[in-house]
Chains A and B, each alone.
Chain A
Amino acid sequence: VTGIDQEQDRLIAAYIRGTADPEAVARLEEAMLDDDELFERVQQEALLQRGLKTTLMESDSPATSKSTIWRWPGFALIGTLGLAVVVLGGINVHLNGELEQLRSPHTDVPVITLFEERSLLTESIGLVASRQEGPVLIEIDVSASEQDRFQLELKSANLNHSWENLTPDDRGYVTVYLPHVEFPLQLEVLNEFGQRIRSYTLE
């Protein structure tokens, strides 16, 4: 990496951010008009900045998931939802029936809340859920974990979803949205390195 490369990197980044001084902007834009390679670098920086902003903002929000889920109308309200639930720790825990369904005061989307119950130790966690139809939110209390990012994998007969870079909200919950739900449902909470922290089976 040369100093010239890095200086140009800085100028391009400032240009896309809108913080470059007008003279530097004029020089860069004129150079870009006759330099395809430079134009490509500028476009790539614009793409990188857009991607980082949207992805980091998404991961910062209380309810995060892949972009298909973001398309759901009203999903932005999810951050205000819920009471919580869950499981986590470093050990498998059994929650017999610790499953609640709460209704969002804002979206009317049912919420399955997995409350933490660290005192129960078993190999697997079997939960009995009231059968839901249509969209549902699943909130998991991960406040017992020292991790700050999580992955969630969900599998059922016809569903296969995964979420990455889930960040707990202020309460210590991660929230995901499912447009459809079917049971039995297998849920796995992983840390950011892909190591399994806890598994659930919802029946």
Chain B
Amino acid sequence: VNDLSTDPGDLVARIAAGDRAAEAELVRRYGPKIEFILRQRVREASLAADLCQEALIVVIERLRGSGLEQPGKLAAFLRQTAVNLAIGEARTYYRRNTHADSERVDLTAHGAPLMVDLVEQEQLADAIRQLLGELTQARDRQILRRFYLSEEPKASICASLEVTPEHFDRVLHRARQRFRVIIEARLGPFHNGRFGDKP
């Protein structure tokens, strides 16, 4: 499902034409996702935020200049730029090659926080307790515990608890669905980077 209003190719073309509003749209649309991707690699949130800004600057400068050979692959280019920045040598490379014009890249649109940053630890713990409390089967609680906490492979959990892989998948799927309902019941629906807004 592509929920985005503007085709990535159009966005690339508008930025190439000097449309600063398109740059802000790119930052707003992709900024949180790039930051999330970077957090998966560097783990340190502040470093991920810095690298995210660098990635956005690099990409916007590229789009202002030589552009992309395949504008429809903007997402792939963005991701690869971010991944490269997460690697030390590439980071140095891009920093060396970020020219003075980057000062004029407006990153203020990157304001939407990540979902993981919006939920207080206590709210999260309460929601998880409710989720676990609603599991009537001790075996299902064991599945969650061993998969998420002990990080055991699915096959060994299924074997030792004598459950089918289908049952295992159902337990996890239902837990995810229920978790979403619990969180949204407590904080409101999640939309546009925040809880509580109606879509």
- Return chain B residues, CB-CB under 8 Å to A53: 148-149
Given A17-B151, A52-B144, A52-B149; A47-B116 close (CB under 8 Å) = yes
A103 on the interface (CB 8 Å rule)?
no
A13 CA to B48 CA, complexed, in Å: 21
Whether A42 lies near B116 (C-beta < 8 A) is: no
In the complex, the chain A residue whose C-beta lies closest to that of B149 is: A56
- Return chain A residues, CB-CB under 8 Å to B190: 40, 44
Whether A48 lies near B176 (C-beta < 8 A) is: yes
A6 on the interface (CB 8 Å rule)?
yes
Quote the shortest CB–CB distance from A1 to chain B (angstroms): 5
A26 CA to B3 CA, complexed, in Å: 20
Quote the shortest CB–CB distance from B136 to chain A (angstroms): 10
Number of A-B contacts (CB under 8 A): 116
Proximity bits, A6-41, B CB within 8 Å = 1, else 0:
100110010111100000001001101111111110
A194 CA to B11 CA, complexed, in Å: 56
Quote the shortest CB–CB distance from B159 to chain A (angstroms): 17
- Return chain A residues, CB-CB under 8 Å to B157: none
Contact size class for A? 35 or more
| Segment of B13-21, B89-97, B102-110, B120-128 engaged in the interface with chain A | B120-128
A200 CA to B136 CA, complexed, in Å: 29
Given A17-B151, A33-B33; A51-B127 close (CB under 8 Å) = yes
Quote the shortest CB–CB distance from A24 to chain B (angstroms): 13
- Return chain A residues, CB-CB under 8 Å to B170: 1
Whether A36 lies near B3 (C-beta < 8 A) is: yes
Given A9-B173, A47-B116, A165-B132; A58-B125 close (CB under 8 Å) = yes
B60 on the interface (CB 8 Å rule)?
no
B2 on the interface (CB 8 Å rule)?
yes
Whether A39 lies near B8 (C-beta < 8 A) is: no
Quote the shortest CB–CB distance from B52 to chain A (angstroms): 13
The dominant DSSP class at the A interface is helix
A124 on the interface (CB 8 Å rule)?
no
- Return chain B residues, CB-CB under 8 Å to A57: 149
B24 on the interface (CB 8 Å rule)?
no
Whether B4 lies near A26 (C-beta < 8 A) is: no
Whether B176 lies near A67 (C-beta < 8 A) is: no
CB < 8 Å: which of A13, A29, A58 contacts B79? A29
A150 CA to B75 CA, complexed, in Å: 49
Whether B148 lies near A165 (C-beta < 8 A) is: no
B198 on the interface (CB 8 Å rule)?
no
B115 on the interface (CB 8 Å rule)?
yes
Q: Could you list 15 examples of A-B contacts with CB < 8 Å? A: A1-B170, A1-B173, A30-B75, A32-B33, A33-B78, A37-B1, A38-B1, A43-B36, A43-B115, A45-B176, A47-B119, A50-B124, A51-B125, A52-B144, A53-B148
Question: A residues touching B (Cβ–Cβ < 8 Å)?
Answer: 1, 5-6, 9-10, 13, 15-18, 26, 29-30, 32-40, 42-58, 60, 66-68, 164-165, 192
Question: B residues touching A (Cβ–Cβ < 8 Å)?
Answer: 1-4, 8, 30, 32-34, 36-37, 40, 75-76, 78-79, 114-116, 119, 121-122, 124-125, 127-129, 132-133, 144-145, 148-149, 151, 169-170, 172-173, 175-176, 179-180, 183, 190
Q: A-B pairs with the 5 shortest C-beta distances?
A: A33-B75, A43-B115, A36-B3, A51-B128, A55-B128
